[in-house]
Amino acid sequence: MARRSLLFSPGDRPEMMKKAPETGADILVFDLEDAVAPARKSDARRAVRDVLADADFDPDAEVGVRVNHDPDVARDDLETILGADVRLDVLVIPKATAASDVETAAALAAEAGRDLPVFAVVENAAGVLAARDIAAAAATDALVFGAEDLSADLGATRTQAGTELLYARQHVLLAARAGGVDAIDTVYPDFEDLDGLAEEAASAATFGYDGKTAIHPAQVGVVNDAFTPAPERVEWAREVLAARDEADREGRGVFEVDGEMIDAPLVAQAERLLERADATVDGG
């Protein structure tokens, strides 16, 4: 399944959660952390549980819940939600700073009777430096880069160019790839600036990210477009693999496609591009 877009919806807004599948996002995450005021946590847990337990709620997208960072509060989150027969595919944990955070979250889900893969949000200095260990944890299925909290942690000033966080953004991606898990880029906070979002999403796709976080339904289509391989690139990949097969039959390691010399790294790039294109067709 494609993971181009991860849409957060506040856990205390059942009307938004029920409409989330209509946005076309590949991953729907109902948020019990930053999007919910402390006084409304209990109400939000019940609202999320009721939506997920509704027999009519069965989107094609993956469905997740972002629990709170404090393990005691996260336990309350999961005990309430998983106390019913609910549709839940992934567990999202904020402010991951070590592999043990993933292990603790997975254990809490297991206590509540579910074995859930974990999306770890890397959004502070300690998390960035520990990103490889976090990605390598057994339950980790994706790293999510969180630029806003990281900026606050660093005391950095966010700019349109994003150079102040470039190292961290690339480091999280490298850690995800080394750990064999997906990488999802940070949110673009100005949901009215779709041109700026398109530019940043295209940049993340060029880096190698699998998808990007969204906080508003209007952002989903732009993000999906950025992470959907262009038809001409898909055609190039198909030509490369066809030529690779012919070269293999003839015992050649290097071959030519449209005047471009192709070797193993470009073959791997073509294979990954087709995998992404096929996932978009099959799951998105």
Out of 14-18, 107-111, 147-151, 232-236, least confident range: 232-236
d(CA 28, CA 214): 10
Examine the pLDDT at 283 and tell me if it is beyond 80: no
Please report which confidence band the pLDDT of residue 17 belongs to, taking 50, 70 and 90 as the band edges. Answer: very high
Helix or strand (DSSP H, E) at 150 = helix 147-154
234-274 pLDDT per residue, tens: 899 899 999 999 898 988 888 989 888 998 889 988 998 88
Please report which confidence band the pLDDT of residue 207 belongs to, taking 50, 70 and 90 as the band edges. Answer: very high
Of 51, 80, 75, nearest to 63 (Cα)?
Answer: 51
What pLDDT, on a 0 to 100 scale, did the predictor assign at position 67?
Answer: 97
d(CA 174, CA 161): 20
d(CA 273, CA 279): 10
For the chain, what is the mean pLDDT? 94
What pLDDT, on a 0 to 100 scale, did the predictor assign at position 282?
Answer: 59
Out of 105-119, 139-153, 213-227, 257-271, least confident range: 257-271
Examine the pLDDT at 116 and tell me if it is beyond 80: yes
d(CA 199, CA 204): 9
What pLDDT, on a 0 to 100 scale, did the predictor assign at position 251?
Answer: 87
Of 11, 75, 74, 71, nearest to 45 (Cα)?
Answer: 11
What pLDDT, on a 0 to 100 scale, did the predictor assign at position 109?
Answer: 94
Q: Which domains does the chain have, with CATH numbers?
A: 5-226 (3.20.20.60), 231-283 (no CATH)
What pLDDT, on a 0 to 100 scale, did the predictor assign at position 155?
Answer: 97
Beta bridge pairs of residue 260: 257
71-94 pLDDT per residue, tens: 999 999 999 999 889 999 999 999
What pLDDT, on a 0 to 100 scale, did the predictor assign at position 222?
Answer: 98
Examine the pLDDT at 56 and tell me if it is beyond 60: yes
**What number of other Cβ atoms are within 10 A of residue 108's Cβ?**
23
Examine the pLDDT at 183 and tell me if it is beyond 70: yes
Q: Which residue has the higher pLDDT, 272 or 207?
A: 207
What pLDDT, on a 0 to 100 scale, did the predictor assign at position 272?
Answer: 87
